[in-house]
Every structure is written in C-alpha cells, then in structure tokens.
A and B are shown apart, each in its own frame.
Chain A
Amino acid sequence: METKIAKNYINGEWVDVAGKESQKVLNPSTGEIIGTVNLSTAAETDKAIAAAKAAFPEWRATPPVTRARYMFKLKTLLEERFNDLVKICSMEAGKTLEESRGEVRRGIEVVEVMSGIASLMKGQAMEDIAAGLDCMAYRQPIGVFAAVCPFNFPVMVPLWFLPPAIATGNTFVLKPSETVPFSMQLTYEILDELNLPPGVVNLVNGGKDAVNAILQSPDVNGVSFVGSTPVAKYIYSESAKYGKRVQSLGGAKNFMLVMPDANLAGTANALIGSCFGCAGQRCLAGSNVVAVGDVHDKLRDVLLEKAKALKVGIATDPSSQMGALISKKAYDRVNHYIELGIKEGAKLILDGRGIKVPGGENGFFIGPTIFDDVTPDMTIAKEEIFGPVFNILRAEDFEQAMSWIDKCPFANAGTIFTASGKWAREFGYRLPATMCGINIGIAAPMSFFSFGGARNSFFGDLKAHGSESIDFYTDRKVISARWF
C-alpha cells in the first residue's frame, strides 16, 4: 500500500517539511501505516506566520462581499469533494462513514454561515452623539490568527476557525493534529483551488515545537485550541503571557440526567448515540448517566440491550455503527479506566474489552462498555475517559443529581431527559455547563450559535463559531468625528 507524506502549505505553495522528527500515521481500524508526518521546526512555523503577516494588509482591504464570494466558492468545492473528505476522515480517525459525513457537514455549515460575512461584520453608527458629532464603530480584522486542532474531528474543528478568521479579513495558520494530518491536506488542496492571495491560509504540520512557535510569536494575534484540559490550560496561559487573544477548549465529563418521567425509548437512543458515537472520543460525549428516582432498572435494561446490538467495525464499512479508538495509547488508557472502575467497586455490566472485529485484528477497538452502581467519588465518574465507556449512577432525586454536577470541575455540556417543563427549566437554569440539552443526547450548538464550555472545559472569553467568533476575530474601532 502506498503511503503518503504530509506537506506544509505556506504562502500559497506546497512545501516539504524539513524537520527531522517524524511520526507514522495509522489507520486506527487496521493498525496499518497510511502515511508519515514530519514535524515542522519552529523556523518553518515562523515562515508560515511571516507569510500570513505579509498577506494581511491586502487581505484586510479586500471588500467583505468579495471575501464572502470566496466562502461561497469554498462551500461549492467542499461539496464536490465531500465523499473524498469523508473517506479520508474515516480512514485516519477511525470513525464510521456516518460520523465522518456528520462532521464534514458541520464543517461546511460554518462556511455557509460565514458566506454572510458582509452582514455579520457590520458595525454601528449614530449621528449627533453630541452637537455636530457623529460616532461609528467598525469591526476591524486584527492580523494573524492560528488554530491548534485535535485528532477527534480532523475536518470539523479546523473549519470552526479557518472560515471565520479569513472571512473577517484576518490571515490564518493551521496546525492540525499530527495523528490525523491528511484530512487537512485535502482541505488545503481545496483551498488552493480558491486562488486566495498567497499567505492568507497556511498549514503547518508539527508537534510541540510548532505550537510553541505559534504561542511565542509576536506576530500571531490570537490562538484557538481544542484538546485536553491540561494542554488547553497551557495554551491559554502561554497565549495570555504573550498578549494574544485565546479561545481554548478543554476536556469534559458530561452528565445526562434521566428523570422518572422521561420517554425511555427516545432517551435510550439519544444516550447510546451520545455515549458511543465517535467511540466516545468527543467532548460532548455522555459519560455519567444519572438515573433519578425509580427509573434505574428499566433504563439500565434498555441501554444494555441497545448497546449490545451496536455493530462495532472497520470505519469504512458502511454497516459499522461504532469505530475504533484513535491509537494504541488511547486504547491502553481506556482499558486502564475500565480496570480502575472494577477495582473501585463499580459493576461492569457490559465489557467491551477483547472485542473481535473482522479485519480489525490490529485495530484499536474497545466495544461498548457500561458500568452500573457507580458513585460520584469513583475515579471513573470524575475523570474524562474519552472512550466508549459510560457510567450509570443512581440519584435519589433531582437535587442530589444537581449536587454531583455542581461539584464536577468540568462544565462542558449536560442533558436532562424528562417530560416535565419544570425540571427542564430548572436544569437549564442551574447547569454550570454552557451547552445544555433537553431530551437531546449531544447538545452540540450549530454553526450559528457559539460552542464552548465553562470551568475546566474552556479557557478564554469568546467561544468558537456563531456570533462570538466574529467578536473573537475582530476588534471594534470607535471613531468619533466632527467636521469643521
């Protein structure tokens, strides 16, 4: 099988990575090597930043309506290459075709929203704020923005940031995850077809050296990040140290409350999708399912039945409903948490370890796994597992469940399943997490709303996409004018 080598895209040109350190890119479903990524040095990253800086004056002066036309064209090209993107995404991230379709679609939706940039970027104006004095507030682009992206959404997350950054008139440097570089290779091939001015969009493959070069560069004005909480904290503090804007999205431990009056069939479907979609490797994955009152036994039985029926398989097999974990390291980590759960006294009612997937003997598979009788003090109830494992906890009532949520250091998302408007309202009102679902498994805001959590799940002020991204990528220039 022919393997690929990821390249950088700098100043409108594809260039080989000169860095000597390299990493193999694996297909998580089979363990096969599909390519290599060489890790860019700080000097190579600086070249991308310099190209972005040089491109900024011309790009910011490009009329928003012209930039919007680039967005329309980008949408068309992404639609044309949709299936190619889906295939690469599934191949390198191990997620099912259906999941990859979902993520590419969600990415395109950001481009669609940014096609309206001429309206989104409008400022404010008022005559006669004092006698003969007028005032205007323009939204101005700032300069060079960078994004450091995770492995779990190789297409969607970069598209949370790139379209709003350039639509608002900034220039951009992307560092994709070195585990999944090829989705962005194709995306940048598409961007290359757009004929943007050189330097408006740049791609740097790399690891820590590239990230640090971005964080420490005086020429980068803002950074977006999605990943684990420790790294999110690091990105946030380093960016702040160097005077940058930053939006840094971290990990999660999402609670799903099931009230006794919940519609069990709908709830179970939503929970299964939430907990096992993308093999649990997403920051919106359901993790702690809290059965409130007497719903526990019925809920456990229906979840068990549905989880057992899921077909775990090779990502590119259209019949697969759940794919593999991203790497051996992830596989070992999830196994470690399962062992820890058993050791701490949780009851393993569905064990996904040792699952046999035809054709995926060397893949990183763990099947759906469910723990029952989990208590909030157990490690598996407190830490992010990032795998296809969920816990069932029993709460006496709503208040007890909310007290557990209140103590959780993460606050990304939470959901309540209930037929009661009162409980739903109360939950939405009191949930510390800022993405809240009511009878929804994955409370993922779409591209015209903002995405991001609170507490240890988010560091920064302005969140991803939606109107907050326009705020993030622009500054307000207030001009007070009097003419004599």
Chain B
Amino acid sequence: MGLASFSAILEFAIGEEKKAADFISSIIGNSNTPNSETLKKIQSESEKNKKNLQMILQENVTEMVMEPCEEIDEKAFALDPSILKNEKDLPGALERQAAFFKSASKSINLKEVKRSFDKMSERKISLIGEIKK
C-alpha cells in the first residue's frame, strides 16, 4: 500500500519507531550483550523520534492540500517483527528506517519536516556505525 498523505507518512513513521523500540527492548531483555549501552541508546533514540514525529504530526496543518505528498511504498520500508530475531538483525532494521526517512524527506514539501527527517536518517546511519564498532 502506498503512503500518499502527510499524516499517513507520519503515522507510519511513528508505528515503525514503536516497532524498533519494542524489538530492541526484546533483545536487551533476552541476551547478555556487550552492546547493551549502545542498544539502550538506540532504543532511547527511537522513543525520542516517536515523540518528535508525534509533535510534527500535531503541529503541521496539511488538510488544506489533500495531496501534498509523493507516494511512498509502505512495503519497501516496513519492519517485519516476525523476522527480527536478534541483535544481528538490528543494523538491517536501522538501514531500512534510515532509507525511509530519506525517502519521506523528499516526499514532503515542508522544510522543517524535511530537516527533521534528514536528521533522523543521519542518526540511524551513525547508530549502525556504533553497533558495528
């Protein structure tokens, strides 16, 4: 299904951050990983993003233009909890999220929102680097 409106994109992004936070929470709970500090950081990043995305959704009035967005393919970016099993799957999930924010940034024609999405995408990429260290 395509994401064709501002709120559809934002609600998708909020849902994905929740999935990511839940996934990391399950890894932290199930393993004695040496990366637990990094994982907590990634989890808190997802929580922070979720709040920011909710504010973006709340603060931007878009109903005046019904089709402000270039359609985004939801399937290409959705995280699938059934295949996210352990820490090894995390970089892939973060890459997918980073790609989503990059794509959403191009699709939404609001400067402040673009800036937030670009920043979220960059942070995800930098967190991948931290896990791989």
Residue from the list A83, A106, A269, A274 in contact with B61, Cβ < 8 A: A106
- Taken residue by residue from 435 to 449, chain A's Cβ proximity to chain B (1 for < 8 Å, 0 otherwise) reads as 000000110100000
Q: Check if B59 is an interface residue, CB within 8 A of chain A.
A: yes
Q: Check if B11 is an interface residue, CB within 8 A of chain A.
A: yes
Choose, from B26-34, B62-70, B120-128, the stretch at the interface.
B62-70
**Nearest-CB residue, chain B, relative to A310:** B66
Q: Check if B7 is an interface residue, CB within 8 A of chain A.
A: yes
Q: Check if A318 is an interface residue, CB within 8 A of chain B.
A: yes
- Taken residue by residue from 46 to 79, chain B's Cβ proximity to chain A (1 for < 8 Å, 0 otherwise) reads as 0000000000011111111111100000000000
* Contact status A82-B66, CB under 8 Å: no
- Taken residue by residue from 295 to 321, chain A's Cβ proximity to chain B (1 for < 8 Å, 0 otherwise) reads as 000000000001000100000001101
* Contact status B67-A272, CB under 8 Å: yes
* Contact status B63-A79, CB under 8 Å: no
Hey, which chain B residues are within 8 Å of A99, CB to CB? Answer: 63
Q: Is the interface of B mostly helix, strand, loop or mixed?
A: loop
Q: Check if A202 is an interface residue, CB within 8 A of chain B.
A: no
Residue from the list A105, A310, A442 in contact with B58, Cβ < 8 A: A105
User: Complex: how many Å from CA A274 to CA B64?
Assistant: 7
Query: Most chain-B Cβ atoms within 10 A of its Cβ — which of A98, A99, A273?
Result: A98
Q: Check if B5 is an interface residue, CB within 8 A of chain A.
A: yes
Q: Check if A358 is an interface residue, CB within 8 A of chain B.
A: no
**Which of the four size classes fits the interface of chain B?**
10 to 19
**Nearest-CB residue, chain A, relative to B55:** A79
Hey, which chain B residues are within 8 Å of A82, CB to CB? Answer: 58
Q: Given A82-B58, A318-B7, check contact A96 B67 (CB 8 Å).
A: no
* Contact status B66-A101, CB under 8 Å: no
Interface residues of A in 67-101 (CB under 8 A from B): 79, 82-83, 96-99, 101
* Contact status B65-A270, CB under 8 Å: yes
Q: Is the interface of A mostly helix, strand, loop or mixed?
A: helix
Residue from the list A105, A269, A306 in contact with B59, Cβ < 8 A: A105
Q: Give the A-B pair count, Cβ closer than 8 A.
A: 54
Q: Check if A276 is an interface residue, CB within 8 A of chain B.
A: yes
**Nearest-CB residue, chain A, relative to B6:** A98
Q: Check if B84 is an interface residue, CB within 8 A of chain A.
A: no
Q: Check if A230 is an interface residue, CB within 8 A of chain B.
A: no
Q: Given A79-B58, A82-B58, check contact A101 B65 (CB 8 Å).
A: no
* Contact status A98-B63, CB under 8 Å: yes
* Contact status B11-A101, CB under 8 Å: no
Hey, which chain B residues are within 8 Å of A96, CB to CB? Answer: 63
Q: A277-B63, A441-B65 are in contact. List 20 more A-B contacts (CB 8 A).
A: A82-B58, A97-B7, A98-B7, A98-B62, A98-B63, A101-B7, A102-B62, A105-B61, A106-B61, A272-B66, A273-B63, A273-B64, A273-B67, A274-B64, A276-B66, A277-B64, A277-B66, A319-B8, A321-B66, A444-B64
Between-chain CB contacts (< 8 Å), 12 pairs: A98-B6, A98-B62, A101-B63, A102-B62, A105-B59, A105-B60, A269-B67, A269-B68, A272-B66, A276-B66, A310-B66, A318-B8
